[in-house]
Amino acid sequence: MKNILVISDTHVPSYQRDLPAKVYELAKDLDGVIAVGDFVDLDTVLAIEAISKVFHGVHGNMDYIDVKEYLPERKVIRIEGVNIGLIHGWGAPFDIRERIYKRFLDVEDLDVIIYGHTHEPFDGVERNIRFLNPGAATPGGTYAILTLDGGKVTFQIHRL
């Protein structure tokens, strides 16, 4: 069983000076971190990566160029028998999951797609894929804990 912190849209330093203390605490304590973009600066990426047991990240549309050079636009990982696509997202929130789905057409047996961009938490199934969005990890925003246990997926949203 793995318990993983899932965050997106931290917007450091453009929206907040640093990550909330709770994010750092969970990043150290849990089995890993999945971060799906809009960190903004590379220092934030490196800080999370340094304290995480395992780090998986992708860049977002608002990230500085050095973040976009350091992290891919999308990534596919497998944890506890679950195939997970990671991507930030782009454009208007309307129809975002359909646009994201099309970016993974070349991936077989995808179980979950984790995305960000909208700043709104989401947990739903479309086209037989579970779409998960942790919301924005900013003051008053949200993060999620993803629990993977032998193919079973649990996604809990928490308020900061």
pLDDT on residue 136:
97
Q: How far is CA 81 from the centre of its chain?
A: 18
Alpha carbons 133 and 131: distance in angstroms, whole number: 7
For residues 54 and 32, is the Cβ–Cβ distance under 8 A? yes
We report the CATH number of the domain holding residue 153 as: 3.60.21.10
pLDDT on residue 52:
97
Q: Give the DSSP per-residue string, 6-52.
A: EE----BTTT-SS--HHHHHHHHHSSEEEEES--BSHHHHHHHHHH-
Domain count, the chain: 1
For residues 71 and 57, is the Cβ–Cβ distance under 8 A? yes
pLDDT on residue 27:
97
Per-residue pLDDT of 10-63, as tens digits, reads 999 988 899 999 999 999 999 999 999 999 999 999 999 999 999 999 999 999
Domain extent at residue 100: 2-159
Per-residue pLDDT of 116-143, as tens digits, reads 999 999 999 999 999 999 999 999 999 9
Per-residue pLDDT of 53-97, as tens digits, reads 999 999 999 999 999 999 999 999 999 999 999 999 999 989 999
pLDDT on residue 15:
87
DSSP β-bridge partners for residue 145: 5, 156
pLDDT on residue 135:
98
